[in-house]
Amino acid sequence: MNKKFNLNMGLSFLILLALMASCSSNPDSAGTEYMPDMYRSPAIETYVDYGEIRGRENKEIKTKLSARQTPKYTVPYYGTDGSEVQMMLPNKRKAGVAWRESHGLFGWDLNAESAYDKARLDTVNLLTMTPENAETILKNGEKLYTSMCVHCHGEKGDGNGTMIQSGAYGDMGVVPNYKDLDTLSEGKIYYSIYYGKGYMGAHGSLLNKKEIWTLVHYVRQFQRDGYGKFEDVAEAESAE
């Protein structure tokens, strides 16, 4: 009985010592790690500072991100809808190398010359609008326009947004009225949003291709009366 009691006391004392040794005066410390390999993955993980790990510091890689980029021209999986996959493929019309400095497109895939003029040949919006999806597309376009465009282009697309009214951009703050750009092709509008045009910055890193084509539809509302109003057209045809 005494032997068992002494054994239990001894084990309890050892456990108590271990617990005390694992404590730290630093409130942010997790204490001593007895089995780190059990819960810390040895594999590379994104956004982990591998310049300092488990008490070892490597200053050569301390400022480098661990997140790895996908190989160039890699296309993410966008499902099996052929039209949507086609829409999300890399742009065939690319900005020129001058955009690297003028619009900060460092590291982008650029051509020697801008393809903006050739974009006029792209007359079809790759996001097809139908009577079934028109309302959804325009609602989504309104949300994107409100968050990305309205501060400069204005609620009515007249180039009189709050930032322009404030004079924050000075002489640079000249934004065209969409009504004056109604002859632009779908491709030119897309190109301008994606790569930037004039004083407008590139939005290709902020919006995906589907979102930009959605904005192209929304912008057309300011340029063409009745754009996206399939119901009005159907009623007129039935009346005839």
**Residue 207 pLDDT more than 90?**
yes
- The 3 state secondary structure assigned to 74-85 is CCCCCCCCHHHH
**Strands 52-53 and 56-57, sheet pairing:** antiparallel
Q: What is the pLDDT confidence band of residue 221, given thresholds at 50, 70 and 90?
A: very high
Q: What is the pLDDT confidence band of residue 98, given thresholds at 50, 70 and 90?
A: very high
CA 148 – CA 52 distance, rounded (Å): 39
Q: Once rounded to an integer, what is the mean pLDDT over residues 58-70?
A: 69
**Is 64 part of a structural domain of the chain?**
no
Count of the separate structural domains present in the chain: 2
- Decide: 61 and 50 in contact? Cβ < 8 Å: yes
Which tens digits make up the pLDDT trace of 38-58?
666 666 566 666 666 667 777
Which tens digits make up the pLDDT trace of 153-193?
999 999 999 988 888 887 766 888 999 998 999 999 999 99
Domain that residue 103 falls in: 82-233
**Is 34 part of a structural domain of the chain?**
yes
Q: What pLDDT score does 237 carry?
A: 44
- Return all residues near 160 (Cβ < 8 A) that are at least 6 apart: 154, 175
- Return all residues near 185 (Cβ < 8 A) that are at least 6 apart: 119, 120, 121, 122, 123
Residues 53 and 87 grouped into a single domain? no
Q: Which two tokens stand for residue 107?
A: 């590291």
- The 3 state secondary structure assigned to 16-70 is HHHHHHHCCCCCCCCCCCCCHHHCCCCCCCCCCCCCEECCEECCCCCCCCCCCCC
**Residue 33 pLDDT more than 80?**
no
Residues 147 and 28 grouped into a single domain? no
* Alpha helices for 103-224 (secondary structure H): 134-148, 150-153, 162-165, 186-195, 209-223
Closest CA to 220 of 157, 171, 132, 135: 157
**Is 72 part of a structural domain of the chain?**
no
Closest CA to 61 of 79, 73, 49: 49
Residues 88 and 174 grouped into a single domain? yes
Q: Which two tokens stand for residue 158?
A: 């007249």
Residues 48 and 89 grouped into a single domain? no
- The 3 state secondary structure assigned to 88-104 is HCCCCCCCECHHHHHCC
- Return all residues near 118 (Cβ < 8 A) that are at least 6 apart: 93
Task: Output the CA torsion 165→225→214→72 (10° steps).
Answer: -80
Q: What is the pTM of this model?
A: 0.69
Q: What pLDDT score does 201 carry?
A: 92
Q: Is the dihedral of CA 144, 147, 149, 153 positive or negative?
A: positive
CATH of the domain at 171: 1.10.760.10
Residues 205 and 152 grouped into a single domain? yes
